[in-house]
Homo-oligomer: A and B are copies of this chain.
């Protein structure tokens, strides 16, 4: 019975197609008996309506999409869960769409918005520096979650995130407060113009503030090809740093995963954490909490960010709210991987 259509069902039931349609879509004006009969036939026939045809016709979809750049980033999983929960509550369906590293997320957004007749979009991850002309094409509300974008005064994107600059400053200052002066940093690739850069700037600013000269040889940039914020990445970079032979008493990795990779690398060289070297991360992921030693980090309030993202988006959909930037406070989680610099 190859592929059923609504017509086949109509024929089987000896009714018109519209009646079948009404039965499927819970329309009020239909005889309950006819409806039941139709539903039974549908069930028996294993009929599955064609979504493409539906989307083509439908004007109202009650759906949003979440575009995720850089899956594998465990950090997003929690965020997504909350977003999905929130959608369910609002009776919206939530479409998850992964976008490749090389792809342009706005293009993907434009396409899927049209295909699925979306009401709104959430962007997760990515650098997000797109020309204004491109952004203007987005006819539906969208919010950037966990992403920073360098938008101008007159044209602000809706976004919710922590202030990466400030939080990074906070962490660096904490390390300095422990007595560390030679603080190595693992940061995004040189070309990064987004959160990676901000975190680096925060680090620099804190050093400057405390009269510690910025030492380029203590900065480790991630490589382009490898999986950006992975254990592997942190491990390799740290190995390389150690080979360079520069000395440092603290290592600030700009993500918890990087920090964990770094700890492994240090251990292999017989360097104890935190006794010989303090290690700090960023994000506040579970992995860092369970690690031994547990990783000192800046915890992003994921739950709150996700919640705010959903609220802002739905408010924008209802025209109740203009795009705005929302900043959340990160929390310095002092754990086992950092310690005061021992006096020698």
What residues make up the interface of A, taking CB atoms closer than 8 Å to B? 2-3, 46, 48, 50-56, 71-72, 74, 77, 80, 96, 98, 110-112, 114-116, 137, 139, 230-232, 235, 260-261, 263-264, 267, 286-287, 289-294
Is the CB–CB distance between B114 and A290 below 8 Å? no
Distance to closest chain B CB from A152 (angstroms)? 21
In the complex, 24 of the A-B residue pairs with CB atoms within 8 angstroms, ordered by the A residue number, are A3-B114, A48-B114, A50-B114, A50-B115, A51-B52, A51-B112, A51-B115, A52-B52, A52-B54, A52-B55, A52-B116, A53-B56, A71-B77, A71-B80, A72-B74, A72-B77, A96-B96, A231-B287, A232-B286, A261-B290, A263-B290, A267-B292, A291-B291, A291-B292
Is the CB–CB distance between B231 and A290 below 8 Å? yes
Is the CB–CB distance between A51 and B111 below 8 Å? yes
Is the CB–CB distance between A139 and B77 below 8 Å? no
Could you say which of A110, A114, A290 has the most chain B C-beta atoms within 10 Å of its C-beta?
Answer: A290
Distance to closest chain B CB from A225 (angstroms)? 13
Residues of B within 8 A of A264 (CB): 290, 292, 294
Is the CB–CB distance between B56 and A111 below 8 Å? no
Knowing A52-B52, A291-B292, the reply to whether A230 touches B286 (Cβ < 8 A) is: yes
Residues of B within 8 A of A289 (CB): 231
Distance to closest chain B CB from A293 (angstroms)? 8
Is the CB–CB distance between A139 and B2 below 8 Å? yes
Residues of B within 8 A of A112 (CB): 51
Nearest to A53 among chain B residues (CB) is B56
Is the CB–CB distance between B110 and A231 below 8 Å? no
Bound CA span A55–B116, Å = 12
Knowing A230-B286, A232-B286, the reply to whether A110 touches B48 (Cβ < 8 A) is: yes
Q: Which 5 A-B pairs have the closest CB atoms?
A: A51-B115, A52-B55, A52-B56, A231-B290, A52-B52
Contact of A260 (CB < 8 Å), options: B98, B114, B261, B290 = B290
Residues of B within 8 A of A54 (CB): 52
Nearest to A262 among chain B residues (CB) is B290
Contact of A114 (CB < 8 Å), options: B51, B80, B291 = B51
Bound CA span A50–B57, Å = 12
Bound CA span A112–B51, Å = 8
Is the CB–CB distance between B111 and A286 below 8 Å? no
Is the CB–CB distance between A235 and B52 below 8 Å? no
Bound CA span A110–B98, Å = 21
Bound CA span A80–B287, Å = 21
Is the CB–CB distance between A48 and B111 below 8 Å? yes
Nearest to A336 among chain B residues (CB) is B267
